[in-house]
Amino acid sequence: MNLLTIAVIVWPLVIIGVGVWRMRQVRSHADFMVAGRNVSVPLLVGTLVCTWIGSGSLFGGAGLAYTTGIAELWFSFGAWVGLVVAAYLAPRVRSIAKYTVPDLLEQRYNAAARALGTLAVIIAYVTIAAYQFRGGGWILSIVFPNTISDVEGMLITAAVIVVFTALAGMVSIVSVDMFNGVIITLGILFALPYLVFSNGGVAEIVSQLPPDHTSILGGHNVLWVFGVAAPTFLLLLGESGMYQKFSSAQDAGSAKKAVVWMLLGVVVIETALALTAIAGRAVFPELADPATVVVEGRAAAESIILHIAANGLPTAMGAVLLAAAVAIVISTGNTFLLVSSTGASRDVYERFINPGASDSRKLLVQRMFVVIFGGLGLAALTLSDSVLAMALFAYSLVGASLTPALLAAFLWKRVTSQGGVACLAGGLGSILGITLLSRLGISFEVSLGGDTFNFASTDYIVIPGVLVSTLMLVVVSLLTPPSPKEKWAPFHSG
């Protein structure tokens, strides 16, 4: 058994072991959802970074960097700007001390807003959890090429993530994410300089790249930049897992400190990932060949980081990078399954079906939903072969519905309950409606400035979605009576 195999097998076993050990500390449904609201700053930073750096970054973002070059950082830049805003919101979220984003939506708006927000969270987050399963399947199929297929790898990954999440929820997630964060950072920061300097240095790498790879726009236009940056910006500010983790912090000050350190960690890791993928384009140009775009259901460019780990690094360094990839997949999958199951258990079952349920019953229901959503995630993988496409769809769904309503709750006293509900309905309806109608053959292509844009594609769908939801938010709010002070005051204090 070589080091690559050990890295991929041992680390998940360690993580599950921690979950079993920490399960003893789950004494209530609140412990499962927000770890008893007692998470320290270092643990909170680790889990926030590990949640954001998921398969969307490891495969989708890296694949975009491989094919586009340095312009991929616009994809990440949106989230970096969002984190600056999040640092301002984090203390307020912790002070309000709710459990979920739909909790916040109902407090500021009404029960209909809670229901629509929960629907958006479940659809988007099951999709995000799903492509973590796909990423894990790719890792296993590369390490065990003659033993485990992509599909078998997905099933194994899904089982590991579901079991780990169902054991101890947030308690187990924050326990291991500090270690996951260290592994991720070391794996990526060691791989980048080795790959560059073992292949002739920076000048040689740059000389082997297509010309557009060193261009800030990568051969695209400004609307493309908005199309890839807006989803990550909007998702970050509507990211229910992040708000749920803010609620896990020891206090409001800890939540704000954690976001500042999260911003630093995310910028460093995402930049290093992009540069590693770009260097990989110079070292492994064959992955760009149209004949190898799909290999056993895997987009070759999207597996560039795994290809580098297996073929471009010394075995020990490759093992660390693969362990980092495993950490990224499992950590992100855990959080997004936890958040979607929290939405179903707390925001649907407890709120509307059985408000008087015992704590043990609520905990059982949430664990059941972890399993159910794991199965739905596997089914969702049949809808797309591209991690980037699935990521942008999920980001756009959250960004066009949840984010405008959430930002308005904290930043605009004049927003009304009717405006918030209209915003959520407009965002959900536009993204889902455009997606469905385009699959039925209706075109959403528009010519602008001599270029043709397909606003049903995941590159651009966020644009009509945000326009519709924001317009409805503003217009309906201005046409309806202002909310009473007790509605908006908690969101504007501190």
- pLDDT tens figures, 339-382: 899 889 988 998 889 999 998 898 889 989 999 999 999 998 88
Q: Name the 3-class secondary structure at 219.
A: coil
Whole-number pLDDT of residue 436: 92
The CA distance from 361 to 466, in Å, is 38
Mean pLDDT of the chain: 85
pLDDT tens, position by position, 269-296: 999 999 999 999 999 998 876 555 444 4
- CA separation for the pair 437, 456 (Å, rounded): 9
pLDDT in tens, 38-56: 677 888 888 788 778 877 7
SS (H, E, C) 237-256: HHCHHHHHHHCCECCHHHHH
Q: Report which of 242, 178, 180 is spatially closest to residue 48, judged by C-alpha positions.
A: 242
Residues 6+ apart with CB under 8 A from 368: none
Instruction: Locate all alpha helices (DSSP H) within 97-214, ordered by sequence.
Output: 101-108, 111-143, 150-197, 202-207
- Tell me which CATH code domain 3-386 carries: 1.20.1730.10
Residue 296 has a pLDDT of: 45
Q: Which residue has the tokens 């202002």?
A: 482
**Rounded CA gap, 284 and 275, in Å?**
14
Whether 417 shows a pLDDT value over 50: the answer reads yes
398, HSE (Cβ side, Cα atoms, 13 Å): 30
The domain limits of the chain are 3-386
Interval 1-33: pLDDT, tens: 577 777 788 877 877 777 777 666 666 666 665
pLDDT, one tens digit per residue, over 303-313 is 889 889 988 99
